Structures are given as structure tokens and as C-alpha cells.
Amino acid sequence: MLEKFSGTVVHGLGKGKEFGFPTANIKLNNNELSIEKGVYAVVVNIDNQQYYGMLYVGTRPTFHLQEITIEIYFFEFNEDVYDKQISFQIVQKIRDEIQFQSTDDLIKQLHYDKEMVYIFFKHLPKTISDLLILNS
Ligand SMILES: Cc1cc2nc3c(=O)[nH]c(=O)nc-3n(C[C@H](O)[C@H](O)[C@H](O)COP(=O)(O)O)c2cc1C
């Protein structure tokens, strides 16, 4: 089954915005994190609107950080989502977390991930995407 999670959108460090990948950081309602570190294709529901995105769960080893964060990059990012309740469903794991040698290497990978997730959703059979309708 596709597992569903819910939480609140909180502000991150704002670094992602500087390199073209702004993210919404998520504080889960249920603090028990059961998602393995990595990058995933997700369907998100905010105010009964559905969005597609990439979820990252990890410690951001590229920046030598230790605290686990949960971030979502939306294909159409909307600044107004801060402080809102969201729910999301993990549809597909894309890759494991990586410690990159440089920010440039991370950015290159993020562009590649974006392409992968875009293609993934584009080719998802309608029968499956119809099942992904979420209620908050
Ligand atoms: C789809 C996606 C994948 C990511 N993958 C990695 C990764 O493999 N390794 C890593 O160190 N950080 C990864 N990051 C985290 C970025 O380092 C993070 O977005 C950046 O530090 C900005 O964080 P901020 O929005 O809190 O400022 C990823 C972020 C996203 C959105």
C-alpha cells in the first residue's frame, strides 16, 4: 500500500532557493519518522489541491549537517504553503541519499532527479493516478 503522511510546512534554511530548488520543509504530525532516507516521487495534498513533487529525507551530508530533515520540492512551488497542513503519499523511491563532493554536483543530480520524476509521473497509467487522490 502507498503510505500516507501528514504534517505542517515549515521554513528551511533557505539554501535550496539560492540554487534553484526551493523546498517546503515538513514537520510530521506524528513525530515517528518511518521513512527511510532517500529521494522519492510524491503526491501532495494541500487544501484539497493535488501537487506532484520530490521528497527528500536525510541529513544533508553534502553540507555536513546531522539533523534529519524532510523536504519537498514541488514542480510548481507556491510560497503560500508555509504553515499549512499537508498530506503526502510516497509513490516511488528514486535513489538513496548521497554525500556530494560539491554543491554543483548536488545541483546536477537534482536536475536529473527532476527529469526522472517528471517522466515517471507523465507515464503513470491513469488507473494508478486516479488512485492517488488524497483527502487532507
Ligand atoms: C529532491 C532532493 C534531493 C536531495 N538529495 C540530497 C542528497 O542526496 N544529499 C544531500 O546532501 N542533500 C540532498 N538534498 C538536500 C539539499 O541539500 C537541501 O535541499 C539544501 O540543503 C537546502 O536546504 P534548505 O531548503 O533547508 O535550505 C536534496 C534535496 C531535494 C529537494
Q: Give residue-wise pLDDT tens across range 14-38.
A: 788 888 898 999 999 887 778 899 9
For residue 16, what is its C-alpha cell? 535550496
d(CA 16, CA 20): 6
Q: Give residue-wise pLDDT tens across range 77-88.
A: 676 788 999 999
Which residue of 25, 56, 70, 93 sits with most ligand 1 atoms within 8 Å of its CB, as the best mutation to test the pocket? 56
What average pLDDT does the chain have?
A: 88
| All residues at 6 or more sequence positions from 3 whose CB lies less than 8 Å from its CB, including other chains | 34, 89, 90
| All residues at 6 or more sequence positions from 43 whose CB lies less than 8 Å from its CB, including other chains | 50, 51, 52, 53, 88, 89, 91, 132, 134
Q: Residue 46 in contact with residue 81, Cβ under 8 Å?
A: yes
Give the rounded percent of residues in the chain with a pLDDT score beyond 70. 88
d(CA 72, CA 22): 9
For domain 4-129, give its CATH number from 2.40.30.30, 1.20.120.140, 2.40.50.100, 3.30.56.10: 2.40.30.30
Q: Give residue-wise pLDDT tens across range 34-67.
A: 889 999 999 999 988 888 999 999 999 999 999 9
pLDDT > 70? residue 127: no
Alpha carbon of 15 to ligand 1 centroid (Å): 9
Any idea where the domains of the chain sit in the sequence? 4-129
Q: Whose CA is nearest to atom 22 of ligand 1?
A: 16
Cβ of 23 below 6 Å from ligand 1: yes
pLDDT at 125: 76
Mean pLDDT across 96-118: 96
Cβ of 38 below 6 Å from ligand 1: no
d(CA 23, CA 54): 9
Cβ of 73 below 6 Å from ligand 1: yes
